[in-house]
């Protein structure tokens, strides 16, 4: 089963270029098996003592790899 991201939800350019601010960027919070989704502005309220926060400061390269899962075409 392939999972497809609708074109409207695919972030191909930075939030600012799409007319959004950084506070509109989505945030995924994982606590063991539980996963929840938040806006970036909610980050301070999601942190607990002992949490690990990973910050990626690398540049994003426009890249895609075509492949197949089973007989279905996928782009990663």
pLDDT in tens, the chain (76 residues): 556 777 777 777 777 777 777 666 778 888 888 899 988 888 899 899 998 888 877 776 767 788 888 888 888 8
Indicate whether 32 belongs to any domain: yes
In a domain, 35, yes or no: yes
Please name the residues in contact with 66: beta carbons below 8 A apart, sequence gap of 6 or more.
73, 74, 75
Structural domain that includes position 32: 19-49
The answer, as to whether pTM is greater than 0.75, is no
Would you say residue 40 lies in a domain? yes
The domain tally of the chain equals: 1
pLDDT of res. 45:
92
């Amino acid at each position: 089963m392939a999972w497809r991201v609708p074109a409207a939800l695919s972030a191909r350019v930075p939030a600012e270029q799409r007319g959004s601010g950084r506070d509109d960027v989505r945030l995924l919070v994982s606590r063991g098996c539980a996963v929840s989704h938040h806006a970036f502005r909610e980050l301070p309220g999601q942190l607990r003592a002992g949490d690990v926060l990973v910050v990626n400061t690398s540049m994003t390269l426009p890249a895609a790899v075509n492949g197949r899962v089973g007989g279905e075409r996928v782009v990663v």
